[in-house]
Structure 1
Amino acid sequence: MLKKLSLKYGTKDFHFKLPDQSEILSLKDPDRKITAAQFKSRVQRELNRLRPHLSDVAIVLADKTRLCGYPIFLPVLVKTLREFGAAKNNITMYIAYGTHSRQTEIESYEVYDETYNNYRFVHHDCRENKIFTKLGETKRGTPVYMRKDILGSSFIITFGAISHHYFAGYGGGRKLIFPGLGRLDAIYKNHGLFLDQQNRVLSTSCLPGVLKGNPLAEDLAEHETFRPADLSIHGIIDSRGNVCDLLPGGGKDHFLKACRQHGKNCEINSDKLYDLVIASCGGYPKDINFIQSHKALHHASMFVKDKGDLIVLAKCSDGIGSKTFLPWFEQGTWEKAFDRLSKNYQGNGGTALSMMSKLRRINISMVTELDDAICKTIGAKKISMDQAKERVERFSDSIAVITHAGLLVKRVSL
Structure 2
Amino acid sequence: MRVQLDYGKTGLDVELPDDRVVGLLQTQDAEPLTDPQAAIRAAIADPIGTQPLSELARGKQTACIVVCDITRPVPNKQILPELLSTIEQAGVPREGITILVATGLHRPNEGDELVELVGADVAENYCCENHHGKVLDEHTYLGTTERGVPAWIDTRYIEAELKITTGLIEPHLMAGYSGGRKLICPGIAALETVKIWHGPDFLEHPKADQGFLEGNPVHEENTLIAKLAGCDFIVNVTLDKERRVTSVVAGDMEEAFLAGVSFIEKHVKAPLPEAVDVVVTCSAGYPLDTTFYQAVKGLTGALPIVKQGGTIVIAASLTEGIGSPEFQSLFDDNASLEIFMERILGKEYFVMDQWQLEELAKVRRKAKVKFVTDGLPAETINGLFVESAATVEEAVASSLTEYGPEAQVAVIPQGPYVLPTVGA
| Fold match (TM-score > 0.5) | yes
Total equivalences in the alignment: 406
Q: What does residue 88 of structure 2 align with? A: 82
On the 8 A contact 1:312/1:366 being kept in 2, the answer is yes
On the 8 A contact 1:210/1:412 being kept in 2, the answer is no
On the 8 A contact 2:200/2:344 being kept in 1, the answer is no
Q: 1:255 to 1:177 in 2, by over 3 A?
A: same
Within 5 A, what are the aligned runs for 1:125-274? Answer: 125-194=132-201, 202-270=204-272, 272-274=274-276
Within 5 A, what are the aligned runs for 1:284-295? Answer: 284-295=286-297
Q: What does residue 336 of structure 1 align with? A: 339
1:294-341 CA-to-partner distances (Å, cap 9, x unmatched) read 111110232211222211111110111222223333322334312322
1:354-408 CA-to-partner distances (Å, cap 9, x unmatched) read 2133223322111112232331122222222374487399875311111101201
For 1:13, the aligned partner's letter is: G
**Which of 353, 363, 369 in structure 2 is aligned with 1:364?**
369
SS of equivalent to 1:240: coil
In 2, Cα distance between the equivalents of 1:338 and 1:10?
Answer: 31
Q: 1:242 to 1:194 in 2, by over 3 A?
A: farther
SS of equivalent to 2:164: strand
* Percent identity for Structure 1 against Structure 2: 25
In 2, Cα distance between the equivalents of 1:60 and 1:185?
Answer: 20
Let me know the Cα RMSD of the aligned residues. 2.4
In 1, Cα distance between the equivalents of 2:328 and 2:202?
Answer: 18
On the 8 A contact 2:337/2:385 being kept in 1, the answer is no
On the 8 A contact 1:310/1:363 being kept in 2, the answer is yes
On the 8 A contact 1:367/1:382 being kept in 2, the answer is yes
In 1, Cα distance between the equivalents of 2:258 and 2:44?
Answer: 19
On the 8 A contact 1:19/1:393 being kept in 2, the answer is no
In 2, Cα distance between the equivalents of 1:176 and 1:262?
Answer: 18
1:32-54 CA-to-partner distances (Å, cap 9, x unmatched) read 31521222122133225546433
On the 8 A contact 1:312/1:365 being kept in 2, the answer is yes
Q: What does residue 36 of structure 2 align with? A: 35
SS of equivalent to 1:12: coil
2:359 aligned with 1:354: yes
Within 5 A, what are the aligned runs for 1:88-127? Answer: 88-114=94-120, 115-127=122-134
On the 8 A contact 2:327/2:353 being kept in 1, the answer is yes
SS of equivalent to 1:295: helix
Q: 1:97 to 1:412 in 2, by over 3 A?
A: farther
Shift of residue 65, structure 1, vs aligned partner: 0.4
In 2, Cα distance between the equivalents of 1:306 and 1:386?
Answer: 21
SS of equivalent to 2:95: helix
SS of equivalent to 2:208: coil
Shift of residue 264, structure 1, vs aligned partner: 1.6
Shift of residue 193, structure 1, vs aligned partner: 4.5
Q: 1:138 to 1:271 in 2, by over 3 A?
A: farther
Shift of residue 20, structure 1, vs aligned partner: 2.6
On the 8 A contact 1:8/1:403 being kept in 2, the answer is yes
Moved over 6 A (4+): 392-395
Q: 1:148 to 1:73 in 2, by over 3 A?
A: closer
For 2:414, the aligned partner's letter is: H
Q: 1:210 to 1:400 in 2, by over 3 A?
A: same
Q: What residue ranges of structure 1 are gaps of 5+ in the alignment?
A: 197-201
Q: Mean alpha-carbon deviation: is it higher for 348-357 or for 380-389?
A: 380-389
Q: What does residue 418 of structure 2 align with? A: 408
Q: What does residue 199 of structure 1 align with? A: none
- How does the TM-score come out when normalised to structure 1? 0.91
Shift of residue 188, structure 1, vs aligned partner: 0.5
Shift of residue 5, structure 1, vs aligned partner: 2.2
1:224-282 CA-to-partner distances (Å, cap 9, x unmatched) read 22122100111111112222222111042322221222222112344621111111222
